[in-house]
Structure 1
Amino acid sequence: MLKKLKFYLIGLVPGLLIVFFILNQKGTSCSYFPNDRVIAETLTKDFSYSEKFKKEMKTGQISEKQLKNNIIPNGKIDFDRSNAQKQPCPEYILIYPKSNPDYEIHYSKCKEKAEFISLKKLK
């Protein structure tokens, strides 16, 4: 029995290390929580902005880079107020930061693009 366990561990440990390093290099993530999946899918889409959203970004001095690199990845989807079942483009409410939010973003996520509709400063 100990011999079988030893062979099992000899294969398991190097296998786990190899998989860990391969997945780390590709920048993949293994989070399957709904919030993380919606945000990851959103970040792969082409972004388009309504005129209202552009105006609110300018007023709040938020750049597109800041939106893509900071606000969206660190935000939280409010599924209670979102319409995730809407066809053909589900609509979501994202709040940023997750605790004690400063911003609320309303957007729709279609197959090819994410259209940002409104941006509200909460404080």
Structure 2
Amino acid sequence: MLKKLKFYAIGLVPGLLIVFFILNQKGTSCSYFPNDRVIAETLTKDFTYSPAFQTEMELNKISEQFLKDSIIAGGKIDFDRSKAQEKPCPKYVLVYPKNNPRFEINYSKCKENAEFTSLKKLK
């Protein structure tokens, strides 16, 4: 019995390491939760901004890079206030950070692009 377990471990450990390194190099991620899926899909779209959104970005000194890397990637979708089933472009409300939100963003996610319509500083 111990011999079988040893052979199993000898195959399992290197196999897991190989799979881990292959998947890690491809930049894949497992995002099965609704919040993670919506954010991952949003980040793959082309971004368009309404004039009001651009003005608020300038007033709050938020760059497009910070918007993508921090606010959207670290935000949380408020599904209670979002209209995720709306056709053709679902509308979402994103708050950042997840605890004690400071920013609230409204946007719609279409097939080709994500259109950001409003940015509010909460506190």
Q: TM exceeds 0.5?
A: yes
User: Counterparts in 2 of 1:14-93, with a 5 A limit?
Assistant: 14-93=14-93
Tell me the alpha carbon deviations over residues 62-82 of structure 1, each in whole angstroms, 9 at most, x when there is no partner. Answer: 111110111110100001111
Q: What is the number of residues matched between the two proteins?
A: 123
Q: In structure 2, what is the Cα distance between the partners aligned to 1:89 and 1:22? A: 35
Tell me the alpha carbon deviations over residues 28-76 of structure 1, each in whole angstroms, 9 at most, x when there is no partner. Answer: 2113111111111100000000111111111111111110111110100
1:117 paired with 2:85, answer: no
Is the partner of 1:101 in helix, strand or coil? coil
Question: How high is the TM-score relative to the length of structure 1?
Answer: 0.94
1:96 paired with 2:59, answer: no
Q: In structure 1, what is the Cα distance between the partners aligned to 2:88 and 2:7? A: 52
Tell me the alpha carbon deviations over residues 3-41 of structure 1, each in whole angstroms, 9 at most, x when there is no partner. Answer: 433332222111110011111122221131111111111
Q: In structure 1, what is the Cα distance between the partners aligned to 2:3 and 2:30? A: 33
**2:79 corresponds to which letter in structure 1?**
F
Question: How high is the TM-score relative to the length of structure 2?
Answer: 0.94
Q: In structure 1, what is the Cα distance between the partners aligned to 2:80 and 2:57? A: 25
Q: CA RMSD in A?
A: 1.2
Q: What are the ranges of 5 or more consecutive residues in structure 2 without an aligned counterpart?
A: none
**2:73 corresponds to which letter in structure 1?**
P
Q: Could you list the runs of 4 or more consecutive aligned residues of structure 1 that deviate by over 4 angstroms after TM superposition?
A: none
Q: CA deviation at 1:2?
A: 3.7
Q: In structure 1, what is the Cα distance between the partners aligned to 2:46 and 2:8? A: 46
Q: In structure 1, what is the Cα distance between the partners aligned to 2:34 and 2:5? A: 37
Q: In structure 2, what is the Cα distance between the partners aligned to 1:13 and 1:22? A: 14
